Amino acid sequence: DQQVKQNSPSLSVQEGRISILNCDYTNSMFDYFLWYKKYPAEGPTFLISISSIKDKNEDGRFTVFLNKSAKHLSLHIVPSQPGDSAVYFCAASRTGNQFYFGTGTSLTVIP
Amino acid sequence: NAGVTQTPKFRILKIGQSMTLQCAQDMNHNYMYWYRQDPGMGLKLIYYSVGAGITDKGEVPNGYNVSRSTTEDFPLRLELAAPSQTSVYFCASSYGGAAAISGANVLTFGAGSRLTVL
């Protein structure tokens, strides 16, 4: 049973525009969420996190939004750059122990 | 700063063989994890450990064993390799659950170990 879902396997965006990656979860007990970026043949690298006490967290070009009532979070990248092309995973946990990952969204930023 | 180091990077096994994937971290993290990633799938948690001497099953533990004798090391053992275990394996570590309150509980991943069972 997939507790964290990323329903868009891929996304293409023009350089300079906004990229929006979406993530849904089913377990209302999840209280901590992470976004990771992964290049081929490398391990995932951390991008940004958000806890359930917030509905928004920003770090430079990256902003994560959390809608607890809809069990939905999204990652906004503005402006998108070619170097952002990678697979993005969202992850969720309860109490920060076990992390459950989505299946990933492959982002392509077109120059 | 090495972070999380996994060995080997690549390995081909025959059905029924056994092997150990090594993982070491130098960040003094309490928590360590093993994930596997199959093509087109997300990362599935195999086992995790909240400290030396303590391990627990994740989502897909069958066919694997782990041990945590030190804070730094968390090896993953495959006893009887099967084709279904062909995957990319990632080890990760973090400070642990309490750090989530401050937003500091971030998983740091190794570069991965690609295993093929033929």
CA A24 to chain CA centroid, nearest Å: 10
pLDDT band at A26; cut points 50, 70, 90: very high
> Residue B97 is nearest to which of A42, A89, A96, comparing CB atoms?
A96
Q: Which residue of A has its CA nearest to B56?
A: A98
Give me the pLDDT at residue B78, please: 95
Compute, in degrees rounded to 10, the torsion defined by CA atoms B37, B53, A31, A58. -70
Closest CA of chain B from A50, distance in Å? 7
Q: Say whether B44 sits in a helix, a strand or coil.
A: strand
- Least confidently predicted of A80-89, A95-104, B36-45, B49-58: A95-104
Please tell me if residue B52 touches chain A, with a CB cutoff of 8 Å: no
Give me the pLDDT at residue B98, please: 59
Average pLDDT, chain A: 94
Please tell me if residue A67 touches chain B, with a CB cutoff of 8 Å: no
CA angle A27, A49, B50 (to 5 degrees): 70
pLDDT band at A75; cut points 50, 70, 90: very high
Question: Are the beta carbons of A9 and B111 separated by less than 8 Å?
Answer: no
Give me the pLDDT at residue A46, please: 93
Which amino acid is located at A6 in the chain? Answer: Q
Q: Say whether A63 sits in a helix, a strand or coil.
A: strand
Q: Read off the tokens for B113.
A: 């170990």
- Tens of pLDDT along B79-111? 899 999 999 999 999 887 655 555 567 899 999
Q: Which residues, in sequence order, are bridge partners of residue A34? A: A49, A91
C-alpha–C-alpha distance, residues A41 and B90, integer Å: 11
Q: What is the DSSP string of B54-86?
A: EEEE-S--TTEEE--SSSSB--EEESS--GGG-
> Residue B42 is nearest to which of A42, A93, A101, comparing CB atoms?
A101
% chain A with pLDDT above 90: 86
Q: Is the pLDDT of residue A71 over 60?
A: yes
